[in-house]
Amino acid sequence: MDCSMAILLLCVLSFWTTGQARRCGDRQEEIDGHCCDMCPPGTFLEKYCSEVDQTVCSPCKEGYYSDKYNIFTICEECQQCPQGYSEKCTSTTSGTCSCQSGFLCSNNNCSKCEKNNCQIWENPKRTGVSSDFGLTTYLYKCEPKCRGHEYFDVKEDICKPRTQCSAGGLAERISGNETHNSVCYSPETQRGFTYVTLCIGFVLLSLSLSVFVLYTCSKKLRKHKANKPVQVVPAKTSDFHLSKEESGVQLTIQDEYKDSSGPLHLDIR
């Protein structure tokens, strides 16, 4: 027997009982002239009462529930959830569904979930769309979380006002958007910074230039000295080499002829 049949039965029963004077209690039904106890929530009717026996009720099976005093012969099936329950199904409650993070309920009982396509700085705004049998289908629209002059700080999860660069006499390096604050700079500081950079660059350049000039000059000087021709007259035993470089005078005494009072060779350049 399904739900609609049970409802039909209840209707027939209530129709039948209203015709007679009500003698039974609040949580009783008159059946065949007897006042039968109704079944409490969490149970269903197993057997009507009789002259001798009370009503027999049975607890709902797992996944089924009844939330009222009833004389239904079955329990109702719990809500089916595609992604999980926010409240679990019990013998007396149907439970409620919820969608996982990043998803949104597609209708009022959340029997369907859909992906949340909004950006981190946006909120999904629900626009209810009514449809059949008490089931309301939801449509969503993404709306910014923050107001126009604000940005959404993702780390702190709050809206913060955007810095107005011009208000502080500053210029805007990066204009802010939905998730970032504006980045300002002071044009004067910027100019000063440029000057300092240029100065340092100039000093470095001239330093390296002078080092280069000094190096090449000294190298040339040394080479020049080395190339200065020195005429050495071959000597047999030993040479006395006296040089006077400053004056460019070279004096060579040739030993060989010293003893024999030979000629003294004087080489002047």
Nearer to ligand NAG, 3 or 174 (CB): 174
Taking CB atoms, the residue at the shortest distance from ligand NAG is: 177
Please report how close the Cβ of residue 180 comes to ligand NAG at its closest, in angstroms: 4
CB of residue 176 to ligand NAG, shortest distance in Å: 8
Query: String of b and e for 207-244 (b: at least 16 CB within 10 Å)?
Result: eeeeeeeeeeeeeeeeeeeeeeeeeeeeeeeeeeeeee
Least distance to ligand NAG from the beta carbon of 175, Å? 8
Rounded to a whole number of angstroms, the minimum distance from the CB of residue 104 to ligand NAG is 21
Nearer to ligand NAG, 178 or 255 (CB): 178
Residue closer to ligand NAG by CB (options 177, 218) is: 177
| CA atoms in the 13 A half-sphere facing the CB of 244 | 10
By beta-carbon proximity to ligand NAG, the closer residue of 173 and 222 is 173
Q: Which is nearer to ligand NAG, 77 or 178 (CB)?
A: 178
Using CB under 6 A, list all residues that contact ligand NAG: 174, 177-180
Give the shortest CB-182-to-ligand NAG separation in angstroms.
9
State in angstroms the smallest separation of the CB of 152 from ligand NAG: 10
CB closer to ligand NAG, 58 vs 179: 179
